Structure 1
Amino acid sequence: MKKLVLFLNKIVFFLNSFAATMLLLAYVLPYVEPKKFAFLSVLSLSVPFLIILNILFLIYWLLQVKKQLLLSLIILFVGFIFLSPLYKFSSSKNIEDENNIKVMNYNVRLFNVFKWIKEENVDQKIVDFINEKQPDILSIQEYRRDEDINLSGYEKFEVISGQKVKNGQAIFSKFPIINSGSIEFPNSFNNAIYVDIVKNKDTIRVYNVHLQSMKIDANADALKNETSENLYRRVSKTFTMQQLQAEQFLEHKSKCPYKMIICGDFNNTAYSYVYKEIKGDLQDAFVEAGNAFGRTYDIRFFPVRIDFLLVDDAFEVNSFKTFDVVLSDHYPIMAKVKLK
């Protein structure tokens, strides 16, 4: 029996070593350009899983009081700075202030036009939810223009494309919009749009960024039909395109003279190169004021955060919330920010 336990522990430690090595390698991914090392970039999608896996190995060795626990413990400690974008142990920050600006980001998945969710009136339920929360600024990805979609009390800027279904991005604002525009990404239906709004005497630039999607169906049956070669090729190409799109966006952003809010669906995690580059010195509202996993994309049993709200140092982040509303494959997120 003792030999069997020793043999089992050797196998577990081998798997533990592999998971720890992959996690350590993943820590450097935000500093590696996808177009140079596309294979490594794929690992960024697995960082939440690798962190959780190493925690489970740590618990396994801890229960046995084995020194092997040091492997995952050290790796997790080294990457502690990477853990906060995955899970916030503190409770959500929520400071009410009359000067708060409520900013919501929501990928609405075309308001369920193709009936992915087998439920009646999903489009109206999305509108009702937004009207209930009354964000001051609303950033929407996969938006479509429809006469039945009525969000009243807002100024709006939208960029719509496509033939079969007219869709794109939109920004709604309760503050006056004095300027607007679009950053068109080449060879892609994705783009970034922006508006300049005026609150009191301050001009604020609001970006809505939608980076290239991998177009991978998270459904288990659909994934079974994907060969590993096709999956790898698609993900590698997407990450390379995301980098080029992020570089184009950053060039535009660098010329902006105003205080800034960046919303969007980056189609990549907080452990990716594009997130690191776009975030730069900005504040991630989830990291500043959120709690728990901050999950924004609907993959069963797996916490994935690919939707972000970023603000510059001109703002204080007074709250952040992810709403558990299943009306899209994304969850809406909202932050309350205040100009200092």
Structure 2
Amino acid sequence: MLQKISSRILLWSSIVLATGLLLSAWLPYLNPGKFWVAGFSGFFFPILFPVCLLLLPLLWWYKMKMPLLLCGIALCCAIPAALVTWSFHPVNAGEGTVANSFTLMTYNSSSMGLVAYKTEEARVAAIYDMIRKARPGILCMQEFYSNDQAGREHHIDSIMRTGNYGWHYFTCDKTHWNTWYYGISLFSRYPILSASSIPCGKSSAGSGSSFLQADLAINGDTIRIFSVHLTSYMFNSEDYNNMSAPGSSSLIYKMRSTFEKRSAQALQLAALVAESPYPAIVCGDFNDTPVSFTYKTVSHNMKDVFLETGNGLGRTLSFLSPTLRIDYLLAQPSFSIHSGGVLQIHPSEHFPVMACLSLKKH
């Protein structure tokens, strides 16, 4: 009797898991702007795939052929999604060892440690310490904040000095109280030939309203960099509390609206990259997982620095879930990626992604 019950449980568990895994892996191919349910599915993939994998030995032990076959097929069909979720590179080349290479870092600075209009000194210190140690030749920062009021944090000037940067560009998507500036910034030791802010929506937080596009002269070549912060869910404390209450209509509505805006931004960004007259790099906070329409659209025909050099899940968000990789550094095939990785700095909401790259010579 007990064996019969356990067999039934295993049977239905395998059916549910296999179905969930297939939906999680393949629904993100649909545009959530038109089919919003697809926007939720990819979140569960990093959990469903290993659980389904661990179920296989149990099904084999109980000689349950049909459930074993079902889970096996689901896992095989989910391999493309697994290949963009996990990366395994135990050996990583040293940074800066290749001739004509350059380093680039992307980092969501979470308003440079500004919380409720007060600066958390520990967060600011961690950011500047990271810049001094990593010394990226190009630094792209989303959710950037600076203030030119006397006695406040003029981060633009401070970072220029700290990183020894000769050029910078700031989108300044939002101004508060005349001197409080928010947006996306780019700092460079290489000449910025041209730069612009390309509107992509409207965000009350500022950063997320535009794409930063900049053309840089590096080692005799011109490359184009897009630094972006795609639409966030903008969850507040009440939303986080509602996460423990399934079916919260306000939370689902907010996520559904975000899916629509972000999918439109992803399509706009992909078109800009495709039209670029120069070799292009895209970096920033996509606010979406690797198994998503957003990532699939933007990363098309591009190389992901983490997948090329990293290990494990490459988590870039320090809270909510250990599986969340939402910050990316992507390069077109014309670039060689020599090294890279996610730098875990604390305290910080996001972790920066850095890479050493060079443009292939033909």
Is the pair's TM-score, using the shorter chain for normalization, greater than 0.5?
yes
Q: 2:253 matched to 1:233?
A: yes
| 1: CA distance, partners of 2:131 / 2:62 | 50
| 2: CA distance, partners of 1:136 / 1:63 | 55
Aligned to 1:144: 145
Match of 1:40 among 32, 38, 41: 38
What SS class does the counterpart of residue 217 from structure 2 fall into?
strand
CA shift for structure 1 position 53: 2.5
Matches within 5 A, 1:277-296: 277-296=297-316
What SS class does the counterpart of residue 43 from structure 2 fall into?
helix
Match of 2:183 among 156, 163, 168: 168
Say whether the 8 Å CA contact 2:126–2:346 is kept in structure 1.
Answer: no
Percent identity of the aligned residues? 29
Q: 2:346 matched to 1:326?
A: yes
Amino acid at match of 2:55: F
Listed as ranges, the gaps of 5+ residues in structure 2 are 148-152
Amino acid at match of 1:196: D
Aligned to 2:214: 195
Say whether the 8 Å CA contact 1:142–1:169 is kept in structure 2.
Answer: yes
CA shift for structure 1 position 88: 1.6
The two structures, once aligned, show a CA RMSD in angstroms of 2.6
| 1: CA distance, partners of 2:318 / 2:58 | 29
Matches within 5 A, 1:81-120: 81-95=80-94, 96-114=97-115, 120=121
Q: 2:168 matched to 1:156?
A: yes
Say whether the 8 Å CA contact 2:282–2:331 is kept in structure 1.
Answer: yes
Q: 2:283 matched to 1:263?
A: yes
CA shift for structure 1 position 39: 1.3
What SS class does the counterpart of residue 206 from structure 1 fall into?
strand
Kindly provide the CA deviation profile for residues 16-44 of structure 1, in whole angstroms up to 9, marking residues without a partner as x.
32121122122223421112110122112
| 2: CA distance, partners of 1:294 / 1:89 | 10
What SS class does the counterpart of residue 275 from structure 2 fall into?
coil
| 2: CA distance, partners of 1:207 / 1:46 | 29
C-alpha distance 71-326 of structure 1, shift in aligned 2 (>3 A):
farther
- Could you list the structure 1 runs, at least 4 aligned residues long, displaced by more than 6 angstroms after superposition: 115-119
Aligned length: 338
Matches within 5 A, 1:213-224: 213-216=232-235, 221=241, 223-224=243-244
Moved more, 177-186 or 209-218: 209-218
| 2: CA distance, partners of 1:291 / 1:117 | 36
Moved more, 176-185 or 30-39: 30-39
Amino acid at match of 2:190: F
Amino acid at match of 1:204: I
CA shift for structure 1 position 281: 0.5
| 2: CA distance, partners of 1:205 / 1:331 | 23
TM value normalised by structure 2: 0.85
C-alpha distance 62-138 of structure 1, shift in aligned 2 (>3 A):
farther
Say whether the 8 Å CA contact 1:29–1:271 is kept in structure 2.
Answer: no
Aligned to 2:150: none
Aligned to 1:28: 26
Match of 2:267 among 237, 244, 247: 247
C-alpha distance 304-9 of structure 1, shift in aligned 2 (>3 A):
farther
Aligned to 1:51: 49
Q: 2:208 matched to 1:209?
A: no
| 2: CA distance, partners of 1:296 / 1:64 | 40
Amino acid at match of 2:171: V
Q: 2:145 matched to 1:130?
A: no
Listed as ranges, the gaps of 5+ residues in structure 1 are none
Moved more, 254-263 or 181-190: 181-190
Moved more, 12-21 or 268-277: 12-21
CA shift for structure 1 position 322: 0.9
CA shift for structure 1 position 328: 2.1
CA shift for structure 1 position 5: 3.6
Say whether the 8 Å CA contact 1:298–1:329 is kept in structure 2.
Answer: yes
Kindly provide the CA deviation profile for residues 109-152 of structure 1, in whole angstroms up to 9, marking residues without a partner as x.
11221179997431122111112100111111111014353222
C-alpha distance 25-143 of structure 1, shift in aligned 2 (>3 A):
same
TM value normalised by structure 1: 0.90
Say whether the 8 Å CA contact 1:111–1:122 is kept in structure 2.
Answer: yes
